[in-house]
Structure 1
Amino acid sequence: MTEQPERSHRVRHAVVWLGGLAALVQMSVFTFPVAAASWRREPWVRDLVAGHFPAIVGLPSAALASFLIIAAFEARFDRIKMRLGTLVEFHGAAGPIVLWILCFTAMAMGIKLVW
């Protein structure tokens, strides 16, 4: 019985590390090549990025940031449980999923308002 909480704690930390690794992969695969092509002033990259920057960079970054926030929150404070009045209660896997959706929606709306 004492090994179970320690094991789940390790799993949560592994998820946070995998999220950080995903951020590095995103930067190395998508961000750095586009930045390098932009540095070389290739016209197709300039036009594409200028016209669709929120969709190309903003939304994937918001999705990853939402995941990292939820993963870090769950790793730090154990399980996520939410209750909306007396109507709905989220716990188990539904808690992080609903919180991720709310976090991503807020970031996407912020991106839409800014651009």
Structure 2
Amino acid sequence: MGKTEEEILESGENLVKKSRLFLQWGSVAALSSIGAVFVLIFIGSSLTDVRFNEILYEHLAAAIGVPLSALTALALVMALENVAGNIELETFGLKFKGASGPIIMWVICFLALVAGIKALW
């Protein structure tokens, strides 16, 4: 016998949830891999180049703090979206739904983290 319309919709929703989770964790794995490569290059450069160490010492917040803030904001938004569902914001008369909700939330988190680094540095 054929599937009912409810069963088809339910299986479609389950497939969408699984693919969304796969894409989210796939992006985390890709960013982690790229980050690991850059850390290895970073360590190699710091061991061999004295000028690199001087620049790193002078601009540590920009060299390490800003990229880590971007990854932290991404992790916060992804965790929030997994726990609470779709992110929807309404501020100053503007409504952010769909893909714009997580993007605006990421920007807010990132700017807050960078402002904290700037205030404390």
| Both structures adopt the same fold (TM-score exceeding 0.5) | yes
Letter in 1 for 2:97: H
Q: Unpaired runs of 5+ in structure 2?
A: 1-8
The TM-score with structure 1 as length reference comes to: 0.82
The TM-score with structure 2 as length reference comes to: 0.78
SS in structure 2 of the partner of residue 92 of structure 1: coil
Q: Which structure is richer in relative contact order (CA contacts within 8 A, separation 6 or more)?
A: 1
Paired residues in the alignment total 113
Structure 1 runs, 4 residues or longer, greater than 4 Å off: none
Tell which structure's C-alpha radius of gyration is larger: 2
Alignment match, 2:65: 58
Note the aligned Cα RMSD (angstroms): 2.0
Is this contact kept in 2: 1:34–1:45, CA < 8 A?
Answer: no
Percent identity over paired residues: 26
Please list, as runs of the form range in 1=range in 2, the aligned pairs for 1:14-93 lying within 5 A after superposition.
14-38=22-46, 40=47, 42-84=49-91, 87-93=93-99
User: What are the superposed Cα offsets for residues 67-108 of structure 1, whole Å, 9 maximum, x if unpaired?
Assistant: 1211222122221111226x2221111111110110010011
Q: Unpaired runs of 5+ in structure 1?
A: none
